[in-house]
Amino acid sequence: MKLKAFFLATALVCGAPAVASAQETTTSVNVGVASSYQFRGVNQNIDDTGQVFGGVDLSAGSFYVGTWLSNVDFGSKANLEVDLYAGYKPQVGPVTLDIGVLAYTYPQESSLLVYEGKVAGTVATESGVSLTGSVFYSPEYGKDGPSYWYYEAAVSAPIPGAKVGPFALSANASVGTMDLEENLLLESYTNWKVGLTAATESGWAVDLFYTDTDVDGLKPFEGKGVVQLKRTF
């Protein structure tokens, strides 16, 4: 799958809401700041000056499309990440599926482009416990890079009766494995994250979490505690 094929797939997914029977379109905007930008256990901002991010999502029925931006620093020319994504979330019995495509782009350094396909499933209980399993695949990690699979399992659960003012508390955890093909530096690694979220009904959320990997001796993979403030409206 080359970049042209990826954007064709994105166009098909994005165009689906337009041909669907009259579906109400909803918009969601998010903005936030964090002490560090950690993605799949890897530090995306090696100078540790913090993260500023924001995004916009549009949905129509089970279809969605969106974009998300953040500052980055890999020690190269790139200082901005712009993500594009689209997908379909059908309900199959108790499982909400998420079938989509994603592109991680870096305007100052196009050779870092990564695009993925995604299949995920989430089961939520009446008590608010949510279990999610996800699989991602990319045929090329950056220009001429290896293909990879990424597998992740995540759980989140409200803490009954736990509130701090208007903030309701919930706990969350995830574990993921990156499997890189034909990569001389690092064939695979496992990362994990455990955290606490305090959220209000008006869209404010504070996240506290710790993330780490099983990789030794490489600074971007070192464990780190992060605090994040986010507003969704």
Distance CA(193)–CA(143), nearest Å, equals: 29
pLDDT for res 181: 83
pTM of the model: 0.88
Strands 114-124 and 95-105: antiparallel
- Using CA atoms, how far apart are residues 170 and 196, in angstroms rounded to an integer? 6
The mean pLDDT value of the chain amounts to 90
Q: 229: helix, coil or strand?
A: strand
State mean pLDDT over 36-62. Answer: 94
Higher pLDDT, 105 or 12: 105
Kindly report the backbone phi and psi dihedral angles of residue 114, in degrees, each rounded to the nearest multiple of 5, phi listed first. -130, 135
pLDDT(175) > 90:
yes
Question: pLDDT by residue (tens digit) across 131-149?
Answer: 999 999 999 888 888 899 9
Averaged over 189-207, what is the pLDDT?
A: 97
Helices (H), the chain: 3-19
